[in-house]
Structure 1
Amino acid sequence: MTSSSGVPSNTCLADLAPIWRDHLLAELALSPHTVESYWLDIRNFFSFQSRLAERPTQGEGHEPDAQEIFLYMAWLRAQRVAASTLARRLSALRSFFAFAVEEKALQNNPVALHENPRLPRYLPEALNREEMRSLLAVPKLDNKNGYRDRCILELLYAAGLRVSELSQLTVDGLDLQRGLVRVFGKGAKERLAPLHGLMRQLLDTYCKQWRPLFNPLGKQLFVNHSGRELTRQYIWKMVKKYALLSGVRCAISPHTFRHSFATHLLEGGADLRVVQMLLGHADISATEIYTHVQTERLRALHHQFHPRNRM
């Protein structure tokens, strides 16, 4: 007997895992980075299964139950695995076992009743406007590397992009006449991000004058010396290099530009819903971590305009 997708019902879970990985990429359109993390999470669980002394005869990928999932989570906590990692691994298991049930390789999802660990809400780190101005001014505009890097830093801040979104931008996705760039976010969700005037000028010059000097092999907007797409790791290292040169001493990453983008918009009076759309957040709750900015602004306005504050 086979499932609707042609998988035999007696398929071992370990053998089903590569099919599930392809399903995440091709049908759910998850990012390669997310799929790779989920894949490593599932391999970690299979490794735990093979170590269970209580079931020495059962190999990797045997059918688990709710108790085994509980033991696995306890094992991870004993290793002091971060709550965010626990939540992701539980999410990966939930996805995989749901797929296994759908493919008739498993009767029940053993993770269905497990709740994700409660995650702390950290306030995002953001640079102030002067720090951002200093950092953006570091790359030199008289050579191809400096001009490319300046465009990258400016674009991270101008559009609030994730590093994965920036590395996947293409020349075809630019509409400099209208001041828009096509961005593919999490789950391949598409949005159009507006660009300010300076950003449009920088990108126009980069595309016409500097990008051709890299001899690009494809349509990626930003490429390396070999003409290939820049890696996320390169962008991380580049951001840290320029932060050090600018004198910014706080911990910084490409995501800091995204946090600064949202924070400065809210400080300037932007609505939280507008910022949600610009960031590409599917749920407003993801944007609500920035509400402390609005709270401070409302407090200042209250102090400035309430008549009893003037007495």
Structure 2
Amino acid sequence: MNPNVNVPDALAGPLQRFYDYLNHEKGLSAHTQSNYQRQLSIMTQQLIVLGIKDWQQVDAGWVRQLASKGMREGLKASSIATRLSSLRSFFDYLISIDILEANPAKGVSAPKKKRPLPKNLDIDDVGQLLDVNDNDPLSIRDRSMMELMYGAGLRLAELVGIDINHVQFSQGEIRVIGKGNKERKAPFSGQAKEWLVCWLKVRPSLASEGEPALFVSKRGTRISHRNVQKRMEEWGIKQGVSSHISPHKLRHSFATHMLESSGNLRAVQELLGHENISTTQIYTNLDFQHLADVYDSAHPRARKKKKSDD
């Protein structure tokens, strides 16, 4: 505790009993005990400044204030979550010794952690990566996989799960199984189609008899997720692309480039197989102003009336 802050006995006593409990009954490591004490000490001092003199005064509103204060101080979401977790454990203990009847921190959650999005490749980088002209079967397979991932925006699991009979060349569609075992048709054309034709010509030299998988490894069976990741990473280095290459980065680049060219968020949502458009908004790193502009220009009840409309 800060020696300059006078901690009322009604607050200090239960805290000390909790620390003894952690040490003697829970048997936690010294490091974990120290973390509990540090977090609870900070929050106790903050509550004292707010006028709290007894733990029974603390309700969910006070706990939210502590979380908000952490945000204003610039704490990461994970740090605020750790702080609230310490408080919940302490209040659970107070319930067990009949000081509290309910845990005021139970319904208070930390702000969600921001999911870091992969940086997309620019179009020149994509062109450099896909400029693979080696004629051996593995190189043809790898270029076909990369062309298809970038050309159709597939997830890694979707790519690996494709069987030969899922490919419909005449319609320019591939049947893929996405998240939640949901099936969708992914359109493909251009370079993706051309290189898939090239791969199918040399595939028999690698594939085991009766193997249904579209893409196979040197062993002749369905290629693994890890193998695809490794091969794409190696091609990024071999082709001299400065950015680290991964299957997800190709999917993200597909989404970003499609959105930049078309501005059609709904279409990109369908192509990516996202159930909610909010996922697409986050995935493609759209800013709110862009969405607002799309809404204002497209929604019939949002467009400003022209004089000719009167």
Give the shorter-chain TM-score range.
Answer: 0.5 to 0.7
Give the aligned partner of residue 268 of structure 2: 275
What do the CA deviations read for 1:95-152 (whole angstroms, capped 9, x no partner)?
xxxxxxxxxxxxxxxxx96858612143431000010001011352x12111101100
Q: Secondary structure at the match of 2:202?
A: helix
Structure 1 length-normalised TM: 0.57
Structure-2 change in CA distance of 1:223 and 1:272 (3 Å) = same
Contact 2:152 2:271 in 1 (8 A): yes
Contact 1:148 1:206 in 2 (8 A): yes
Contact 2:141 2:215 in 1 (8 A): yes
Give the aligned partner of residue 295 of structure 1: 290
In the aligned structure 2, how far is the partner of 1:170 from the partner of 1:294? 41
Contact 1:182 1:193 in 2 (8 A): yes
Q: Counterpart amino acid of 1:177?
A: S
Q: Secondary structure at the match of 1:158?
A: helix
Q: Secondary structure at the match of 2:262?
A: coil
Structure-2 change in CA distance of 1:230 and 1:53 (3 Å) = farther
Q: Counterpart amino acid of 1:159?
A: A
In the aligned structure 2, how far is the partner of 1:175 from the partner of 1:235? 23
Contact 2:152 2:188 in 1 (8 A): yes
Give the aligned partner of residue 131 of structure 1: 125
The answer on 1:260 being equivalent to 2:253 is yes
Higher relative contact order (CA 8 A, sep 6+): 1
In the aligned structure 1, how far is the partner of 2:254 from the partner of 2:129? 14
Structure 2 length-normalised TM: 0.57
Structure-2 change in CA distance of 1:250 and 1:219 (3 Å) = same
The alignment covers a number of residue pairs equal to 200
The answer on 1:120 being equivalent to 2:83 is no
In the aligned structure 1, how far is the partner of 2:170 from the partner of 2:288? 33
1:201 Cα deviation from its structure 2 partner: 2.4
1:54 Cα deviation from its structure 2 partner: 4.7
Instruction: Show structure 2 runs of 5+ residues with no match.
Output: 1-22, 28-35, 40-76, 82-105, 295-310
Runs of 4+ in structure 1 over 2 Å off: 52-56, 112-117, 121-124, 292-296
Contact 2:147 2:191 in 1 (8 A): no
Q: Counterpart amino acid of 2:204?
A: P
After superposition, residues 71-90 of structure 1 pair within 5 angstroms as: none
Instruction: Show structure 1 runs of 5+ residues with no match.
Output: 1-51, 57-70, 75-81, 87-111, 300-311
Identity %: 36
Give the aligned partner of residue 173 of structure 1: 166
Contact 1:266 1:293 in 2 (8 A): no
Give the aligned partner of residue 94 of structure 1: none
